[in-house]
Amino acid sequence: IDDFKRPDRIVIGAEVEWAKEVMSEIYRPLFLNQSPILFTGRRTAELIKYAANAFLATKITFINEIADLCENVGADVQEVSRGIGLDNRIGAKFLHAGPGYGGSCFPKDTLALLKTAQDNESPVRIVEAVVQVNDQRKRAMGRKVIQALGGEARDKKIALLGLTFKPNTDDMRDAPAIAIAQTLNDAGAQVVAYDPEGMAVASEIMPDVEMTESSYDAAKDADAVVIVTEWDAFRALDLEQLKATMAGDVLVDLRNIYHPADVAKTGLRYTSIGRNA
C-alpha cells in the first residue's frame, strides 16, 4: 500500500486520448503527492516494467558474483558495496550480497523479457546470464553450508532460519531456501526450519523439511544453523543460547546479519557471504 501511495513514478501504457484522461483522473491524488506520471505506448510500458526488474535483478546478481570474488581475494563485499553504491550513477540499493533473488516479480519478469527477446530475434545476453547465474547460486549456497560442515552433510542436522524469499511476507515463490534445502536433503542431511510467516506455504513445497516452533527449537541438536532470510527476529538472536542449544558449532549467515568478531566471542564457527568469515 505504501509503495502504491508513494511510487517513484507511475507508468501508464495507453493508445487513445480518452484512456489517458481516465487514468490521469484515477491517479490524480498521487500526482499531487509529486509522483510523476509517464504516459507511453502499451508495448513501451510493458518493456519499462520488464527492463526495470531485469536491471535490479542484474544488480543483485552482479554483487553476488563480486561477493564470490571477494572471498577468493580477501576483500569485504560489504565495503565494496558501500564503495560503489556511494557513486550516484550506481546507487546503494540492491547491492546486498545474498543467496540469490526470488519472489513473484524478478524471476517472472526476467523470463518474460527473455521470451519476448527470443520471439523477436533480439537476444538480451546479459539477462540470460543473470537468470542462469541466479539459478546456480541457490544450490551453490547449499554446497556452501556443506563446505562449512567440513565437506560432509550426511546424517547431519541442519536448521534453516527463514524460508520466504524476503522478510515480512509468506511468499515462497522461487525462494532460495527451496533449492538450499533440496541440496542439503540430496546430500543426506536432516533439514529442519523455522520462519515467522512462511511455514504453512513452505510445508507443502518442502515436504522433506521439518517445521519447528521457534529459532531455538530449530537449532536444538543441530550441527549447523543457516540464516537464509533476514527477518528482524533473526537479527537479535541470543548467540550464546543458540550455541548451547546446538549439537555442533557452525553458523552460516547468508545475509551477513552479524559481525564476524561478535560471533567469534560465542565460540561459533562463522561463515558469511563475501567476507573472510
Residue 171 lies in a domain: yes
Active site residue 70: no
What mean pLDDT do residues 77-81 have? 98
Residue 9 lies in a domain: yes
237-266 pLDDT, tens digit per residue, is: 999 999 999 999 999 999 999 999 999 999
| Residue 52 in this model has a pLDDT that exceeds 70 | yes
Q: How confident is the model at residue 6 (pLDDT cuts 50, 70, 90)?
A: confident
Structure confidence at residue 31 (pLDDT): 67
The reply to whether 34 and 149 lie within a common domain is: no
Given the residues 52, 75, 105, 112, select the one marked as catalytic: 105
> What domain count does the chain have?
2
The reply to whether 32 and 154 lie within a common domain is: no
Residue 210 lies in a domain: yes
| Residue 223 in this model has a pLDDT that exceeds 90 | yes
Q: How confident is the model at residue 7 (pLDDT cuts 50, 70, 90)?
A: confident
Whether pTM exceeds 0.95: no
Residue 253 lies in a domain: yes
The domain of 158 spans: 141-271
Cα 8 to the center of its chain, rounded Å: 22
**CATH number for the domain that contains residue 245:** 3.40.50.720
Residue 155 lies in a domain: yes
